[in-house]
Amino acid sequence: MSKIKNISNNNPSEYLYGEIDLKDILSTILREKKIILFTTFTSGLLAFFYLLNARPIWNGSFEILIQEEVANKSGEINPLIGKFTGSLGQNSNETLKKILKSPLVLKPVYEYVQNYSSENNLSTKNNFESWSEKHLNIDFTESSSVLKINYLSSDKNLILNALNLISNEYQDYSKQEKEYRLNKTISYLINQKKIMKIKSSKSQEAFNDFSIKNGLGNLDGIVNLDKTNTIKSLGNISFKSSSTQRFKSQFLALEELEAEYIRLSSAYKPESKEMKFLKRKIETLRNSLKKPSEILLKFNDLSAAKERDEVLLSKVSEELEILKLEKLNSPDPWKIISEPTLDEDKIFPKESSTLLIFIFVGILISLLIAILKEKVSDKIFTKNGINSLIKCDLIETIYNHEADLSIEIINKITKNDQEVGLINYSNLDNNFLNKLLKQNLNLVGEDINNLKDFNKIILLIEKGFITSKELKII
C-alpha cells in the first residue's frame, strides 16, 4: 500500500511530536511481534529456571505472653514501694524487643545456628547483627503483651530447632529477670526496715520521755507501753484518754487545794506554817497548768510521729516477709501461648508473582527493543511520522494488487498533463511501476533539482520504506 502526496506549501501538518498515539504503539507491536513474543517467551523461560533453582525460604513462628508480676504484688500492699520496685525491671516494648534480640539473650541460639549451618553446608558468613536482621523478626501483636517471634530459613529443621531454642532462652531470661527484681526489692526493703526501725525507736523514746516529764502517762505517771491500742490510721491520731484524764485530775486537785486554803484561812493565820505550805503547793500546781495547750500540741506531734513510724515499719516488715516467701517459690517464666510451628507455604519465591514479574519485565524490554530497532532503522512507519517531516496533503491511497484502480486514480490527478513528475519512495514491483510511467508520468531520480521542470509532482510514499532522512531532503 502506497500513499500519494500532493506537495504544497499550504495547510501544513499539525502533528505534535510529544503526543502519544496509541494506534502507533499498537502498530509497532504488530510489526515487531516476533521480537516481542520471543523476548516474552525467553523471560518466562528464565522465570521457570529461576524458580527451579531458587532456594526456598520458609517461615516458622511462636507466640509468648510477656508478664510483669513482681511489681504488682508489692504495689498491692504499698503503692509507693510498688512503684519503686516495679521500675527496677519494667521496660518499654521497644526496649524489651531490643534486649530480646540482643546477644545477651540470643547468643546461644546464634552459635547453634552457625554450627548447624557449617555441618549442613549452609551459609555461615553472617555476624550476629546481620543474622538477626536477616532471619529473625520480633514484634508485639497490636495493643497486647503478646510477643510474636518469626524465624526465616531455607532449612525447615533449622527453623523449628532455632525457635525451640529461642523460646527456652526467653523463658530463662524471664525467670532471671524476675529473680533479679525480687532480690533487688528484698534488698531495698531490708535497708528500709533497718532505717524505719531506728527511726521508730527514736520517736518512741522521744514520746516516752516527754510523756513522763509532763506527767502525760497513766495517773501513776508511767507511760503505757502496750502497742495494741496505739497504732491508728496515719493522719487520724487523737490524745490518749490517760493524758486527758491527767490534766483533768490536776485541775480538780487545784480546785480542792484552793478550797482547802479558804477553809483553813479562818482557823490559821497566813504566816502560819500550814498556810505557807498549802500556798506553795497551790502555786506549784498552778504554774504547771499555765501552758497546757502547748504541752498537749507537743504531745500530739510526738504521738503522731511515733504511730506513723510504727505503721511504716509494720508495712515494710509485712512486705519483706511476703517477698521472702515469693522467693522460696521458683518464679513462673513467660507463658508460651503458641508452640513453634512451620508455615505450610514458603514465603519465597512465590511462583505466580515471580512469573508475572518476569513476563512484565520481558514485555517492557521487548517493547524497548522494538522501538529502538525502528528508531535506528530511521524508517517511518506511521502517517503522523510522515506528516511531521513534510508539508503536503494526502491525495489518495493506491494498492499494489489493484493496478487498474491505481492507474485510474493517477489519471484523475494528472488530467493528461504532460509535465508531471513522480518521486517514488515505495516498494512497487517493476511491472506496476512501468504501467504508471505510461500514464504521462516522468520518474524523478535522485537529483531532486529537476523538480522545477514539472508543473505537478506526485510523491509516492510507502510506510516502512522511506526514511526520515529522505523526507527531510525532499
Which residue, 56, 80, 62, is CA-closest to 154? 56
Return the HEC string of 383-430. Answer: HHHHHCCCCEEEEEEECCCCHHHHHHHHHHHHCCCCCEEEEEECCCCH
Please report which confidence band the pLDDT of residue 38 belongs to, taking 50, 70 and 90 as the band edges. Answer: very high
Highest average pLDDT, of 9-23, 177-191, 448-462, comes from 177-191
Pairing of strands 456-461, 420-425: parallel
Number of Cα atoms under 13 Å in the Cβ half of residue 396: 13
C-alpha cell at 176: 532471671
The pLDDT, as a whole number, for residue 331 is 66
Residue, of 158 and 231, whose pLDDT is higher: 158
Highest average pLDDT, of 88-92, 166-170, 262-266, comes from 166-170
Q: Is the pLDDT of residue 196 over 50?
A: yes
Residue, of 83 and 468, whose pLDDT is higher: 468
The pLDDT, as a whole number, for residue 59 is 95
What's the CA gap between 238 and 232, in Å, rounded? Answer: 9
Handedness of CA 232, 233, 235, 241 (dihedral sign): negative
Judge contact between 2 and 396, C-beta under 8 A: no
- The mean of the pLDDT values for the chain is 76
The pLDDT, as a whole number, for residue 392 is 67
Note the pLDDT tens digit of each residue in 47-87. 889 888 888 899 999 999 987 544 444 444 455 455 444 44
Which residue type sits at 283? E
Judge contact between 414 and 465, C-beta under 8 A: no
Helix (H, G, I), strand (E, B) or coil at 268: coil
The pLDDT, as a whole number, for residue 112 is 93
Residue, of 91 and 140, whose pLDDT is higher: 140
Please report which confidence band the pLDDT of residue 32 belongs to, taking 50, 70 and 90 as the band edges. Answer: confident
Note the pLDDT tens digit of each residue in 299-329. 888 889 999 999 999 999 898 888 888 777 7
Look at the pTM and tell me if it is higher than 0.75: no
Note the pLDDT tens digit of each residue in 159-190. 999 999 999 999 888 888 888 888 888 899 99
Helices (H), 334-396: 351-377, 383-387
Residue, of 407 and 64, whose pLDDT is higher: 64
Backbone torsions φ then ψ of 177, nearest 5 degrees: -65, -45
Which residue type sits at 33? K
Highest average pLDDT, of 5-14, 256-265, 401-410, comes from 256-265
What is the average pLDDT across 432-453? 67
The pLDDT, as a whole number, for residue 449 is 64
Highest average pLDDT, of 50-59, 122-131, 432-441, comes from 50-59
